[in-house]
């Protein structure tokens, strides 16, 4: 399994060495850290050339306000033919948490990106309908950021 | 006084034009019984025809992913019960396996077999609720009662082992809460012996029913390519002709050693998804039977005293067990830094857990990729151009649970 994943990383490097910023291997999984401007190209390449035809999951995360870059977005790719999983990771700074949307590559990214925007305030450029999805549209702040308190700032009212 | 409108007058024309161009917006839910919880749909209708559907979710949002970050690893298990409340043991399994992957724990054989056994029982129970409510949505009242009778038997089995019916929290990090009770195997065998007969009832009531055929065949079509692009998993994907089952293709807890088939249908419609689930019930029963045969006496907890709670008996006799118990409960255990994504085949599709640890007793980030969430996102594509009544059929065929979608 690990050899197979290594192969995809090598292929990525062969195609464009500047895409791959870092490779992390652990617990039988491989993470490829790519620059935020390259996400779309990497995803299209992996989907078209290496049969990663399904985006199993997309999720964001916050490392805390003191970290730089503060946010990350994970793309968990999966293939319905060779059943490998590969994680593509993008790191984003707090000042400009923006990354290209992958909705043109996989339709399923639509709701995942809305959820990530809803919780972390990460903007997905080119998303057709970037609205809050789980929290109410008038919710203030981004609830899953580390500096957002568990119980919110004040009793939230539906009015 | 009524104004008479002759056929060729301008007034008649405008009336006719308006009738044809009148689109209306219908808000369906969130309390509509056939939306399976608190799903709301904004439907743009032209007469009975659906032009556009926009799901509105979040009514059941409880901030679980935030809560995980404030709870110790072992405390998170009880939160997972409440996500997909029809498949709590599947959620438990995905969560504990992600943590075990981070901890590099070796799970004893008996615990693995019991996990498989309960996951498959739970899958049948989940499919029974789906079948009952799906039938009810489309006007078939009686299957509901037969389905819930079967589910009740499974819930009794789960209750016997864990003490909980809907929220068992039976799987723990490193093994199980406790061993099976005496006489469990016989009770389980009794259920398996009676089960095929119950399935035949459903076949009589629905599978061979002409009304059922006309309500399900050719409805809610999603092509193979679209299904993959929308990220559909589980029975919804297999109903669109994609032969994918994580139990076979990304095996975990020893599923690779069991003998079972993966049902695939190629019609891409509500009927196909129905048939996949019906056939899956038989396969799950097959796996449960194999698991029962494999049950050998042995430990049910991993040998990791600093992570797994000791038995009560040990605590009374050994001081170190008492200390470990105190430390685990009071301070938790540290998990080495790292990140994992673990996916299992839950009853509704791929249930994935992304877990990131920063070395402390509480996770830094836990994200659940719920199959219902992803499957529902494809709904607008499926119902476009269908009738309003068919929207209900399509929602039923997706088998969504709002607890998991909203989290």
Sequence-separated (6 or more) residues with CB below 8 Å from residue A53: A47, A79, A80, A81, B228, B229
Residue A144 lies in a domain: no
Task: State pLDDT tens for residues B26-60.
Answer: 888 787 777 777 888 898 888 888 888 999 998 88
Strands A71-78 and A85-92: antiparallel
Cα–Cα distance for residue pair B359/B191, rounded to 1 Å: 44
User: Counting beta carbons within 10 angstroms of the beta carbon of residue B10, is it exposed (0 to 12), middle (13 to 18) or buried (19 or more)?
Assistant: exposed
Q: In what order do the strands lie in the sheet with B40-46?
A: B23-28, B40-46, B49-56
How many Å separate Cα B315 from the centre of its chain? Answer: 37
Q: Is there a contact between A111 and B374 if contact means CB atoms under 8 Å apart?
A: yes
A108 reaches B (C-beta below 8 A): yes
ipTM over 0.95: no
pLDDT tens-place values along chain A, 159 residues long: 567 788 888 887 888 878 888 888 888 889 999 988 889 999 999 888 888 999 999 999 999 888 888 999 999 999 998 899 999 999 999 888 899 999 999 999 999 999 999 999 999 999 998 889 998 888 888 989 998 888 877 665 555
Q: Is residue A139 part of a domain?
A: no
What is the C-alpha separation between B240 and B227, in angstroms, rounded? 7
Q: How many structural domains comprise chain A?
A: 1
Report whether pLDDT(B2) > 70. no
C-alpha distance from A146 to closest chain B C-alpha (Å)? 9
- Whether the CB of B262 is below 8 Å from some CB of chain A: the reply is no
| Helix-, strand-, coil-residue percentages of chain A, each rounded to 5 | 25, 30, 50
- The torsion angle over the Cα atoms of residues A100, A101, A106 and A112, rounded to 10 degrees, is 130
Task: Extract the tokens encoding B275.
Answer: 């048939």
- Pairing type for strands A98-100 and A85-92 reads unpaired
pLDDT of residue B8: 54
- What value does the mean pLDDT take over residues B336-346? 92
Cβ contact (<8 Å) for A106 and B231?
Answer: yes
Whether A56 and B65 lie within 8 Å, measured CB to CB: no
Q: How many Å apart are CA A120 and CA A101, to the nearest integer?
A: 15
Show the tokens assigned to B196: 């095929």
Does position B3 have pLDDT exceeding 50, yes or no? no
How far apart are alpha carbons B212 and B73 in whole angstroms?
A: 46
pLDDT by residue (tens digit) across B261-299? 999 999 889 999 999 999 999 999 999 999 999 988 989
Chain B residues in contact with A59 (beta carbon < 8 A): 354, 365, 367, 369
Q: How far apart are CA B106 and CA B151, in angstroms?
A: 32
The domain that holds A42 is classified in CATH as: 3.30.460.80
Query: What backbone torsions phi and psi does residue A71 show, to the nearest 5 degrees?
Result: -105, 160
When pLDDT is cut at 50, 70 and 90, the band that residue B17 belongs to is: low
Shortest CA distance to B361 belongs to which of B319, B306, B310? Answer: B306
Q: Is residue A54 part of a domain?
A: yes
Long-range pairs of A150-153 with CB within 8 A, sequence gap ≥ 24? A150/B66, A150/B67, A150/B70
What pLDDT, on a 0 to 100 scale, did the predictor assign at position B303? 87
Considering only residues B362 and A13, tell me which one the structure prediction assigns the higher pLDDT.
Answer: B362
Residue identified by tokens 């899956």 is B280
Let me know if residue A123 belongs to a domain.
Answer: no
The pLDDT of residue A158 is 53
Per-residue model confidence (pLDDT) at position B18: 57
Angle subtended by helix axes B388-398 and B109-137, to nearest 10: 170
- A64 is a domain residue: yes
Instruction: Tell me the pLDDT tens digit for each residue of B93-117.
Output: 999 999 999 999 889 999 999 999 9
Our CA-based measurement puts residue A56 at a distance from the nearest CA of chain B, in whole angstroms, of 6
What domains lie within chain B, and their CATH numbers? 64-406 (1.10.645.10)
Token representation of residue B327: 């430390």
> How is residue B356 written in tokens?
């990131």
Q: How far is B233 from A121, CA to CA, in rounded Å?
A: 28
Is A69 within the bounds of a domain? yes
Which chain B residues contact residue A78 at CB under 8 A?
343
Residue A80 contacts B where some CB pair is shorter than 8 Å: yes
CA distance B371 to chain A (A): 10
3-state helix, strand, coil in chain B (%, to 5): 55, 10, 35
- CA dist B338 and B356 (Å) reads 6
| Angstrom distance (rounded) from CA B382 to CA B239 | 13
Per DSSP bridges, beta strands B40-46 and B49-56 are: antiparallel
DSSP element (H, E) containing B77: helix B76-81
Q: Is residue A73 part of a domain?
A: yes
- A1, A28 in Cβ contact below 8 A? yes
Q: Does A144 touch chain B (CB under 8 A)?
A: yes
Q: Tell me: the pLDDT tens digits for B65-84?
A: 999 999 999 999 999 999 88
Residue B124 and residue B285: Cα distance in Å, rounded? 8
What is residue B5's predicted lDDT score, i.e. its pLDDT? 46
Is the pLDDT assigned to residue B1 strictly greater than 50? no
Q: Per the domain annotation, does A50 fall within a domain?
A: yes
| Best mutation target, A80, A86, A109, A150, to test chain B (most B CBs within 10 A) | A80
- Angle at which helix B388-398 crosses helix B270-294, to 10 degrees, equals 20
Q: B369 vs B42, B66, B186, B395, CA distance in Å?
A: 24, 15, 36, 19
Cis peptide before B149 (omega within 30 of 0): no
| Phi–psi pair at B58, nearest 5 degrees | 115, 0
Nearest chain A residue to B381, by CA: A107
**Nearest residue to B176 (alpha-carbon basis) of B121, B125, B118:** B118
Angle between helices A39-50 and A2-15 (to 10 degrees): 120
Q: Is B79 on the interface with A (CB under 8 A)?
A: no
Cα(A86)–Cα(A31) distance, rounded to whole angstroms? 6
pLDDT at B407: 84
Question: Which residues fall within 8 angstroms of residue A157, CB to CB, at 6 or more apart?
Answer: none
Q: Which domain holds residue A20?
A: 2-97
Q: What is the pLDDT of residue B12?
A: 47
Cβ–Cβ pairs < 8 A, chains A and B: 94
Of A17-26, B125-134, B322-331, give the lowest mean pLDDT range: A17-26
Torsion of CA A54, B246, B399, B86, to 10 degrees: -130
- Rounded to two decimals, what is the model's pTM? 0.90
**Tokens matching residue B309:** 């709670």
Search chain A and give the residue with CA nearest B242: A80
């Amino acid at each position: 399994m690990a050899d197979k994943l290594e192969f995809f990383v090598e292929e990525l490097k062969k195609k464009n060495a500047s895409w791959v910023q870092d490779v992390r291997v652990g617990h039988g999984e491989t993470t490829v850290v790519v620059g935020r401007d390259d996400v779309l190209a990497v995803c299209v390449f992996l989907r078209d050339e290496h049969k990663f035809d399904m985006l199993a999951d997309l999720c964001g995360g916050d490392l805390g306000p003191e970290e730089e870059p503060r946010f990350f977005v994970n793309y968990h790719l999966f293939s319905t033919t060779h059943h490998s999983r590969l994680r593509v990771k993008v790191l984003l700074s707090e000042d400009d948490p923006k990354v290209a949307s992958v909705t043109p590559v996989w339709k399923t990214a639509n709701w995942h990106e809305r959820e990530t925007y809803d919780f972390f305030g990460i903007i997905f450029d080119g998303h057709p309908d970037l609205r809050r999805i789980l929290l109410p549209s008038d919710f203030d702040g981004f609830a899953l950021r580390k500096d957002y308190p568990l119980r919110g700032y004040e009793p939230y009212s539906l009015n | 006084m009524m104004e008479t409108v002759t056929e060729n007058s301008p007034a008649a024309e405008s009336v006719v034009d308006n009738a044809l161009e009148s689109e209306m917006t219908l808000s369906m839910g969130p309390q509509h019984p056939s939306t399976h919880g608190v799903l709301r749909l904004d439907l743009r209708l032209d007469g009975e025809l659906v032009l556009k559907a926009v799901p509105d979710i979040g009514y059941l949002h409880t901030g679980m992913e935030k809560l995980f970050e404030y709870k110790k690893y072992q405390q998170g298990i009880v939160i997972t019960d409440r996500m997909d409340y029809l498949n709590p043991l599947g959620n438990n399994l995905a969560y504990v396996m992600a943590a075990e992957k981070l901890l590099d724990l070796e799970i004893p054989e008996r615990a693995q077999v019991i996990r498989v056994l309960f996951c498959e029982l739970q899958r049948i129970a989940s499919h029974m609720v789906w079948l009952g409510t799906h039938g009810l949505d489309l006007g078939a009242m009686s299957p509901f009662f037969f389905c819930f009778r079967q589910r009740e038997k499974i819930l009794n089995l789960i209750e016997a082992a864990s003490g909980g019916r809907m929220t068992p929290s039976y799987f723990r990090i490193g093994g199980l809460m406790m061993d099976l009770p005496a006489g469990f195997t016989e009770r389980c065998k009794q259920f398996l012996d009676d089960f095929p007969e119950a399935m035949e009832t459903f076949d009589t009531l629905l599978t061979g029913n002409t009304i059922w055929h006309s309500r399900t065949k050719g409805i809610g079509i999603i092509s193979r390519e679209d299904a993959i692009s929308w990220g559909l998993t589980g029975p919804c994907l297999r109903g669109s002709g994609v032969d994918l089952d994580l139990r076979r293709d990304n095996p975990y807890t020893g599923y690779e050693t069991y003998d079972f088939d993966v049902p695939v249908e190629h019609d891409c419609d509500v009927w196909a998804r129905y048939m996949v689930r019906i056939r899956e019930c038989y396969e799950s029963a097959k796996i449960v039977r194999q698991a029962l045969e494999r049950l050998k006496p042995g430990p049910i907890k991993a040998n990791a005293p600093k992570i797994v709670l000791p038995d009560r008996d040990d605590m009374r006799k050994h001081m170190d067990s008492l200390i470990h118990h105190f430390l685990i409960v009071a301070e938790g255990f540290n998990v080495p830094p790292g990140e994992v994504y673990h996916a299992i085949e839950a009853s509704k599709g791929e249930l994935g857990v992304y877990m990131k640890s920063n070395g402390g007793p509480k996770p830094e980030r836990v994200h659940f990729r719920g199959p219902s969430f992803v499957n529902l996102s494809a709904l607008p594509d499926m119902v476009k151009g269908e009738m309003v009544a068919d929207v209900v059929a399509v929602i039923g065929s997706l088998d969504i649970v709002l607890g998991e979608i909203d989290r």
